[in-house]
Structure 1
Amino acid sequence: MKLHLPLFLLFPLFLFAQNDLQKNITREYENGHFSGSVLYFDGKQTQKINKGFSNIQFDVEINDKTRFPIASITKLFTSLAILQLQEKGLIDIKDPVGKFIPELPENCQNILIKDLVTHHSGLENEPVKAVVNKYSIDNYIKEFVKKSPKDTLKFNYNNVDFILLSKTIERITKKDFSKSIEDLILQPLKMTNTGFVKESEVIKNLAYGYHNYSFGKGEKNKPLFNDRRFISNYYGAGALYSTTEDLHKLLIAIRNNELISEKSKNDFLLKPQTDDSGDWISGKPTFGFYYDDKTNIYKRSGNIDGFNSEIITNKNFDKILIILCNTDTADLRDLANKIYFKKQ
Structure 2
Amino acid sequence: MIVEDRISNWVESYDRNGYLNGSILISYNEEILLNKGFGMANWEHNVPNLPTTKFRIGSLTKSFTAMCIFQLHEKQKLNINDYVGKYLPNYPNGDQITIYHCLTNSSGIPNYTSFPDFWPRTMRLPSTLNQLIDSFKERELDFEPGSKFGYSNSGYTLLTAIIETVSGKSYTDYIQKQICHPLGMYNTGCDDGIKVVPGLASGYSFWEGPIHSPYADMSFPLGAYGLYSTTEDLYIWDKALRSSEMLSKELKQKMFTPNLGSYACGWMIAEMVDRSCVHHYGDISGFSSEVLGFVDDQVTIIFLSNMNVTPVTHLSQEIAKIIFGENVSLPFPAVPIPFANIKYIEGAYLIGNDEDKFLGISVTNEELYLTVPKMYGAMYKFKLVPVSHDAIKTTFVTELISEQVIFYYSPSGEIESVQYIDYYGKRYSVNKKR
TM-score by length of 2: 0.68
Q: 1:7 is matched with which residue?
A: none
More strand by share: 2
Whether the 8 Å contact between 1:133 and 1:230 is mirrored in structure 2 is yes
**Superposition map of 1:45-64 within 5 A:** 45-46=31-32, 47-64=34-51
Query: Which residue is equivalent to 2:143?
Result: 151
**Which piece of structure 1 moves more, 123-132 or 61-70?**
123-132
1:162-311 map, 5 Å: 162-212=156-206, 221-269=208-256, 271-274=257-260, 276=261, 284-293=262-271, 295-311=275-291
Residue 98 of structure 1 corresponds to which residue in structure 2?
A: 85
RMSD after superposition? 1.9
Distance 1:103 1:31 in 2: 55
Other structure's SS at 1:135 match: coil
Q: Secondary structure at the match of 1:34?
A: coil
Give the drift of 1:147.
3.9
Partner Cα separation in structure 2 for residue 49 and residue 17 of structure 1: 17
Q: CA deviation at 1:223?
A: 4.8
Secondary structure at 1:285 match in 2: coil
Output the CA distance in 1 between the equivalents of 2:193 and 2:251. Answer: 35
Contact 1:39/1:322 (8 A) holds in 2: yes
Matched with 2:293 is 313
Letter in 2 for 1:231: M
- Select the residue among 273, 285, 308 that pairs with 1:328: 308
**Equivalent position of 2:108 in the other structure:** 122
Q: CA deviation at 1:151?
A: 3.0
| CA gap 1:31/1:156 in 2 versus in 1, 3 angstroms | farther
Give the counterpart letter for 1:17 in structure 2.
V
CA positional deviation for 1:154? 1.6
Residue aligned with 1:296, SS: strand
Q: Does 1:35 align with 2:29?
A: no
Letter in 2 for 1:287: C
Structure showing greater relative contact order (alpha-carbon pairs closer than 8 Å, 6 or more residues apart): 1
Structure ID, larger Rg? 2
SS of 2:76's partner is coil
Separation in 1 of the partners of 2:141 and 2:298?
44
Cα separation, 1, equivalents of 2:181 and 2:161: 21
User: Structure 2, unaligned stretches of length 5 or more?
Assistant: 329-434
Which of the two has greater helix per residue?
Answer: 1
Which residue in 1 is equivalent to 2:414? none
Q: How many residues align?
A: 313
8 A Cα contact 1:34 1:330, kept in partner: yes
Deviations 1:8-30 (A, max 9, x none): xxxxx7xx423333333343344
Detail structure 1 runs of 4+ shifted over 4 Å in the superposition: none
Give the aligned residue type for 1:340. A
Render the CA deviation track for 1:64-108: whole Å, top value 9, x for unaligned.
221001100000000011111111111111101111111223x34
For residues 139-163 of structure 1, give each alpha carbon's deviation from its aligned partner in whole angstroms, at most 9, with x where no partner exists.
Answer: 1111233444543442111111111
1:134 aligns with 2:120: no
Deviations 1:283-329 (A, max 9, x none): x0112211114531111111113211111112347211111000122
Superposed displacement of residue 109, structure 1: 4.2
Distance change >3 Å, CA 165–CA 64, structure 1 → 2 = same
Residues 86 and 94 of structure 2 are in contact (CA less than 8 Å); yes or no, is this contact kept in structure 1? no
Q: Distance in 1 between matches of 2:282 and 2:104?
A: 16
* Matches of 1:29 and 1:164, distance apart in 2: 41
CA contact (8 A) 1:209 1:227 kept: no
- TM superposition shift of 1:36: 0.5
Q: Distance in 2 between matches of 1:256 and 1:57?
A: 41
Task: Output the CA distance in 2 between the equivalents of 1:267 and 1:48.
Answer: 31
Distance (Å, rounded) in 2 between the aligned partners of 1:178 and 1:317: 33
How many percent identity over aligned positions?
28
- Amino acid across the alignment from 1:159: N
Match of 2:317 among 331, 337, 340: 337
Answer yes or no: is the 8 Å Cα contact 1:255–1:317 preserved in 2: no
Is 1:21 aligned to residue 7 of structure 2? Answer: yes
- Looking at structure 2, the residues matched to 41 and 87 of structure 1 have their Cα atoms a distance apart, in angstroms, of 30
SS of residue matched to 2:301? strand
Aligned match of 1:6: none
What is the TM-score of this pair, normalised by structure 1?
Answer: 0.85
